[in-house]
């Protein structure tokens, strides 16, 4: 099969599309013929082998990255009963040191119980673009923020609301009944408002600490802040939720031990039920998946470079040309 093959530390420049053996699904796994994949910051971190990239993928050459995908099941491993050949699915490869192959390839193998069926009416590109960002936003707000869908979510601040996680987080926070503030650069504030934020804030102009007090959840999607900086704007039982482990997370967790407020870190998990809910919402038009650029697979390096520039709000996706047979 054809895949984007890099090497740890080689970056995007050190990668190239090459022919490699097609992986076989192991017991409990499905092999998915990829129709679309979406770019995430983790792809760049792993190829550069820095900023925590070493925790997100196994170190070997060729290094095949790519997490989000949508496509159709092409083969099933021993013991798989929940998915069948031909099923249209979406999912993402686990962000883990044990991950060997990625989705920037013609085929990817994953555990069958980590993929969801893709509903009619949701394109492969939008499904792929939703997988990591949507799951992270949902798991952060629900599991760490302790908000509930259809609830009265109080006040939520999403820092980095114009990104892959942030744009979906704004929408889910609204579905959880919250009044939502979202930060971004000035150029992307319209996208943040279009996602449903009640208040868009330019992070270059207004410090998080001066937005207002009394947030129930501060979801630091950009992970540029800390519990220490945000504890003053949290309500008495508020939670600061970050997506990146750091020294300030440890300090924040210690400080929160002496407070009614919480300091949380989320690691996204590929849960079929979450992916199914997200896909259903998107197919029904209740969740907007914003794609800012789409490239054919042959131009995957351009897609990665585009994402690296942070030019637009939304996801960059890569699509395979339709194949017969
Ligand atoms: N822990 C986990 O399980 C998990 C899961 C998914 C992602 N992540 C990590 O979470 C981070 C965000 O992921 P993503 O997919 O949303 O990335 P993304 O699409 O690149 O978006 C990042 C966003 O952060 C904003 N930003 C940049 N600098 C900022 C600042 N100083 N203050 C506020 N916002 C700022 C950017 O806004 P502008 O472009 O408007 O400047 C951009 O919209 C990445 O580091 C990623 O690796 C972790």
Tens-digit pLDDT profile for residues 28-45: 999 999 999 999 999 999
Mean pLDDT of 217-225: 97
Q: Which residues line ligand 1 (CB under 6 A)?
A: 40-42, 95, 132-133, 136, 159-160, 162-166, 183-185, 188, 203, 221-224, 243-244, 266-268, 310
For residue range 43-64, what is the model confidence (pLDDT) as tens digits?
999 999 999 999 999 998 899 9
**How large is the C-alpha radius of gyration of the chain?**
19
Cβ burial 281-312 (10 Å sphere, 16+ → b, else e):
bbbeeebbbbbbbbbebeebbebbebbeeeeb
CATH class of 2-118+290-319: alpha beta
Mean pLDDT of 200-211: 96
Angle at which helices 41-48 and 300-309 pack, to 10 degrees? 100
CA dist 101 and 66 (Å) reads: 8
CA dist 244 and 10 (Å) reads: 23
For the chain, the average pLDDT equals: 96
Q: Contact at 8 Å (CB) between 215 and 234?
A: yes
Cα(29) to centroid(ligand 1), Å: 31
- Report the predicted TM-score, pTM, of the whole model to 2 decimal places: 0.98
Mean pLDDT of 203-231: 96
Q: Contact at 8 Å (CB) between 47 and 63?
A: yes
Q: Contact at 8 Å (CB) between 281 and 176?
A: no
pLDDT of 323: 66
Which of 38, 39, 41 should be mutated for ligand 1, with most atoms under 8 A from CB? 41
For residue range 114-160, what is the model confidence (pLDDT) as tens digits?
999 999 999 999 999 999 999 999 999 999 999 999 988 799 999 99
- Best CATH choice for the domain 133-265 from the list 3.40.50.920, 2.40.50.140, 3.40.50.720, 1.10.3720.10: 3.40.50.720
Residue extents of the structural domains in the chain: 2-118+290-319, 133-265
Count of CA atoms in the C-beta half-sphere (13 A) of 306: 19
- Is the pLDDT assigned to residue 219 strictly greater than 60? yes
Name the token pair of 145: 């923020």
For residue range 278-291, what is the model confidence (pLDDT) as tens digits?
999 999 999 999 99
């Amino acid at each position: 099969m054809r895949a984007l093959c890099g090497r740890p530390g080689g970056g995007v420049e050190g990668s190239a599309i090459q022919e490699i053996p097609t992986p076989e699904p192991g017991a409990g796994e499905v092999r998915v013929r990829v129709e679309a994949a979406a770019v995430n910051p983790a792809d760049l971190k792993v190829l550069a082998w820095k900023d925590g990239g070493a925790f997100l993928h196994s170190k070997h050459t060729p290094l095949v990255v790519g997490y989000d995908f949508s496509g159709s099941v092409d083969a099933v491993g021993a013991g798989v009963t929940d998915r069948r050949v031909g099923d249209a699915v979406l999912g993402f490869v686990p962000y883990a040191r044990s991950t060997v192959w990625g989705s920037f390839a013609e085929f990817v193998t994953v555990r069958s119980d980590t993929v969801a069926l893709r509903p009619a009416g949701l394109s492969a590109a939008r499904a792929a673009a939703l997988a990591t960002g949507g799951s992270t936003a949902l798991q952060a707000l629900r599991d760490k923020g302790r908000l509930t869908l259809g609830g009265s979510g109080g006040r939520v601040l999403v820092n980095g609301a114009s990104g892959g996680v942030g744009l979906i987080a704004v929408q889910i926070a609204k579905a959880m009944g919250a009044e939502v503030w979202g930060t971004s650069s000035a150029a992307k504030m319209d996208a943040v408002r279009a996602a449903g934020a009640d208040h868009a804030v330019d992070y270059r102009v207004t410090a998080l600490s001066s937005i207002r007090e009394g947030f129930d959840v501060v979801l630091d999607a950009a992970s540029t802040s800390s519990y220490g900086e945000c504890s003053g704007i949290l309500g008495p039982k508020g939670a600061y939720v970050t997506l990146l482990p750091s020294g300030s997370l440890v300090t924040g967790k210690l400080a929160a031990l002496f407070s009614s407020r919480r300091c949380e870190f989320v690691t996204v998990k590929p849960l079929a039920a979450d992916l199914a809910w997200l896909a259903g919402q998107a197919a029904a038009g209740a969740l907007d998946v914003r794609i800012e650029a789409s490239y054919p697979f042959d131009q995957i390096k351009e897609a990665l470079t585009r994402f690296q520039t942070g030019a637009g709000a939304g996801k960059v996706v890569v699509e395979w040309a339709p194949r017969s047979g």
